[in-house]
């Protein structure tokens, strides 16, 4: 009888044990992540551990990430003469080890989310995607210049028109910040994600980005610590240091961990690799102070004030940085950065001084007045750029006549909106014009090689996004 009781007890324990093994508790990596499509944008809410944030990102945006990587695999050989294998190899050789462990986990998570959707990308693909600008436009030219000085054609891309203002320049004396993203349409029409990220550590982040990026990339960021960040690139910049921290890592760190303007400056200037050299426009809604950080590789300079309007349109300002690290011609009024600078200065410092709000900010980012030729136009000289309609193209960026690039979207926010984790975003030309691919290729067959991926880019209404 005792033997039967002992045997029964053993069977019960075994059943319980095997039952537990057969029904493990499964961690739901998607958590409360959500995706919503609205007016040309894809809003995603991501939260949790770095790995889970990455997984949610990869899973929810799998189709878009897949397409963007295919675009890069197709397009980068045209723009840099280097294939995707080159970018993966560079990511493995000197980028991966310099990525913070939490961002390595997030990148791996994105790859795992893609794999869960049946795609075969890995962490090197996602790293190359995040670093595509600094690798193609800074690292590749640096390699060419080492082999033959001057051969790298260091025409760093010109991306974006932006401003930040405060004090007597705005209607309420608080910060107004605006930005539009200039890039090749084949990529830019896919720069349509609003990422609402709530990490375990650091700041709540609301930003625009391209699918698959852990940073904004064109950089328009609102954070839970009251920090606002945007930027425009420095035209004609040269310099890159493979031994230092990638720009995309420093930019994400600044968004997630900066609690002041000083914090942003320190994060961006520490172990700086020179990649994606920018004029960073930074605001702190706690103090309504704003700053401009012009960051090269060897040089940087900071301007800051509680009563100013600062602008960016791809021109450098610091004479030392201009002389030592760029080929930019400050005396050429016909180039795109200088023409837009002229217009932006008039708008923020004269026409709208004391009147700047989110509404007037939208008007500025969609402005199409050519200050060089003194007329309304669609060309390289207007804030809402239309290089695809400019017979000159943009020589300083090595872009020929009617090259399909320009402003692809815009964003605006204010102190009051940012304190509610809100921003306005506009997909497509902020001025409201559509880009239609078929008629463009008919008029400009020299760019028909892009027809595999270049689609219509419709202009949608300005849309208010709020973080959860």
User: pLDDT tens across 185-215, in order?
Assistant: 999 999 999 999 999 999 999 999 999 999 9
What is the arithmetic mean of pLDDT over 68-78? Answer: 97
Instruction: Kindly state the percentage of the chain with pLDDT values over 90.
Output: 91
Written as six digits, the tokens of 392 are: 């000159």
Q: How confident is the model at residue 18 (pLDDT cuts 50, 70, 90)?
A: very low
Lowest mean pLDDT among 7-11, 32-36, 63-67, 166-170: 7-11
Q: How confident is the model at residue 146 (pLDDT cuts 50, 70, 90)?
A: confident
Written as six digits, the tokens of 419 are: 């304190």
Q: How confident is the model at residue 73 (pLDDT cuts 50, 70, 90)?
A: very high
What is the arithmetic mean of pLDDT over 427-448? Answer: 98
For 277-334, how does the pLDDT look when each residue is reduced to its tens digit (9 = 90+)? 999 999 999 999 999 999 999 999 999 999 999 999 999 999 999 999 999 999 999 9
pLDDT score of 355: 98
d(CA 152, CA 360): 40
The length of the chain in residues reads 468
Is 408 a residue whose pLDDT tops 70? yes
Q: 174: closest CA among 344, 352, 307, 360?
A: 307
pLDDT score of 15: 38
Q: 80: closest CA among 72, 88, 91?
A: 72
Q: Which residues pair with 37 in a beta bridge?
A: 42
What is the arithmetic mean of pLDDT over 1-9? Answer: 39
pLDDT score of 159: 82
Is 366 a residue whose pLDDT tops 60? yes
Q: 434: closest CA among 402, 406, 396?
A: 406
Q: In Å, how far from its chain's centre is CA 380?
A: 21
d(CA 229, CA 255): 8
SS3 62: helix
Model-level pTM?
0.93
Lowest mean pLDDT among 20-24, 34-38, 231-235, 360-364: 20-24
With beta carbons less than 8 A apart as the criterion, state whether 431 and 366 touch: yes
Order the strands of the 176-184 sheet from edge to edge: 308-312, 161-166, 176-184, 405-414, 422-427, 463-466
pLDDT score of 26: 52
With beta carbons less than 8 A apart as the criterion, state whether 368 and 384 touch: yes
DSSP secondary structure of 199-215: ESSS--EEEEE-TT-SS
Average pLDDT, the chain: 93
pLDDT score of 288: 98
Q: 403: closest CA among 335, 450, 333, 438?
A: 450
d(CA 221, CA 284): 12
d(CA 133, CA 148): 22
Query: Which of 122-128's residues contact partners 24+ apart within 8 Å by CB, and which partners?
Result: 123/96, 124/88, 124/91, 124/92, 124/96, 125/69, 125/88, 126/58, 126/212, 127/91, 127/95, 127/96, 127/99, 128/72, 128/84, 128/87, 128/88, 128/90, 128/91
Lowest mean pLDDT among 23-32, 84-93, 409-418: 23-32
Is 155 a residue whose pLDDT tops 80? no
With beta carbons less than 8 A apart as the criterion, state whether 325 and 333 touch: no
Domain definitions of the chain by residue range: 48-130, 154-466
Is 391 a residue whose pLDDT tops 80? yes
pLDDT score of 388: 98
Q: Is 391 exposed, middle or buried (0-12, 13-18, 19+ CB in 10 A)?
A: exposed
Written as six digits, the tokens of 382 are: 């207007």
Rounded to whole angstroms, the maximal C-alpha distance in the chain is 105
Topology of the domain covering 154-466 = Penicillin V Acylase; Chain A (3.60.60)
Q: In 358-402, at which residue ranges do the beta strands (DSSP E only) sit?
A: 369-370, 375-376
Q: How confident is the model at residue 157 (pLDDT cuts 50, 70, 90)?
A: confident
For 221-259, how does the pLDDT look when each residue is reduced to its tens digit (9 = 90+)? 999 999 999 999 999 999 999 999 999 999 999 999 999
Is 9 a residue whose pLDDT tops 60? no
């Amino acid at each position: 009888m005792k033997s039967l009781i002992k045997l029964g007890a053993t069977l019960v324990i075994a059943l319980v044990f095997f039952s537990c093994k057969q029904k493990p508790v499964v961690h739901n990596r998607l958590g409360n992540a959500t995706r919503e499509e609205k007016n040309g944008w894809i809003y995603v809410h991501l939260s949790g551990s770095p790995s889970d944030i990455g997984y949610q990102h990869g899973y929810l945006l799998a189709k878009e990430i897949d397409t963007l990587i295919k675009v890069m695999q197709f397009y980068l050989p045209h723009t840099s003469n280097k294939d995707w294998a080159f970018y993966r190899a560079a990511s493995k050789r000197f980028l991966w080890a310099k990525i913070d462990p939490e961002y390595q986990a997030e990148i791996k998570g994105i790859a795992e989310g893609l794999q869960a959707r049946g795609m075969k990308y890995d962490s090197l693909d996602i790293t190359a995607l995040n670093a595509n600008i600094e690798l193609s436009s800074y690292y590749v030219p640096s390699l060419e210049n080492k082999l033959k000085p001057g051969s790298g054609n260091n025409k760093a891309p010109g991306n974006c028109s932006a401003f930040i203002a405060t004090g007597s320049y705005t209607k309420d004396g608080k910060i107004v910040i605006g930005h539009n993203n200039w890039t090749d349409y084949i990529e830019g029409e896919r720069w349509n994600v609003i990422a609402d990220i709530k990490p375990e550590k650091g700041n709540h982040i609301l930003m625009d980005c391209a699918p698959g990026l852990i940073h904004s990339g064109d950089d328009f960021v609102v954070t839970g610590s009251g920090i606002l960040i945007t930027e425009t690139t420095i035209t004609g910049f040269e310099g890159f240091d493979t031994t230092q921290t990638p720009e995309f890592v420093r930019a994400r760190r600044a968004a997630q961990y900066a609690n002041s303007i000083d914090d942003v400056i320190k994060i961006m200037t520490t172990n700086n690799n020179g990649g994606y050299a920018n004029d960073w426009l930074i605001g702190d809604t706690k103090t309504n102070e704003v700053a401009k950080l012009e960051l090269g590789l060897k040089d940087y300079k900071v301007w800051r004030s509680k009563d100013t309007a600062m602008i960016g349109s791809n021109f450098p300002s610091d004479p030392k940085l201009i002389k030592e690290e760029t080929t930019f011609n400050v005396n050429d009024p016909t180039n795109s950065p200088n023409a837009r600078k002229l217009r932006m200065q008039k708008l923020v410092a004269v026409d709208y001084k004391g009147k700047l709000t989110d509404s007037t900010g939208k008007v500025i980012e969609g402005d199409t007045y050519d200050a060089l030729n003194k007329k309304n136009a669609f060309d390289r000289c207007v804030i809402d750029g239309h290089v695809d309609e400019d017979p000159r193209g943009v020589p300083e960026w090595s872009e020929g006549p009617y090259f399909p690039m320009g402003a692809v979207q815009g964003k605006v926010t204010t102190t009051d909106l940012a304190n509610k984790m809100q921003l306005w975003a506009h997909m497509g030309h902020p001025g409201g014009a559509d880009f239609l691919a078929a008629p463009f290729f008919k008029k400009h067959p020299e760019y028909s090689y892009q027809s595999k991926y270049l689609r219509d880019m419709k202009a949608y209404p300005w849309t208010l996004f709020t973080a959860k």
